[in-house]
Amino acid sequence: MKVNKQVLVVFFYLGKYYDEVLCGVMSMQVNHLFLGRPWQYDRRAMNNGVKNRYSFEMNGKLVTLVSLKPNKI
């Protein structure tokens, strides 16, 4: 697939963690943010695929990003 657009996605974790990632835009039938290898590598993030969570250390504290429940979106 050809990527011809980009978007800067900003996300927060309880107001204490701020991050942004530059994403390529593709036509797909999904509604998830795919955090790719560069983001995972830069933050040394661990992906728990069963629980759909990412965990990493930021400023000496453990941060865990979790998916929102459908009723919270």
Alpha-carbon distance values, 6 to 19, 25, 40, 69 (Å) = 16, 5, 19, 26
Instruction: Grade residue 40 by pLDDT with cuts at 50, 70 and 90.
Output: confident
| Residue for token pair 């996300």 | 11
The runs of H, that is alpha helices, within 1-73 are: 37-43
pLDDT averaged over every residue in the chain:
76
Whether pLDDT at 46 is above 60: yes
CB 57 within 8 A of CB 44: yes
**Model pTM score:** 0.50
Query: Mean per-residue pLDDT for 37-59?
Result: 83
- pLDDT for res 33: 58
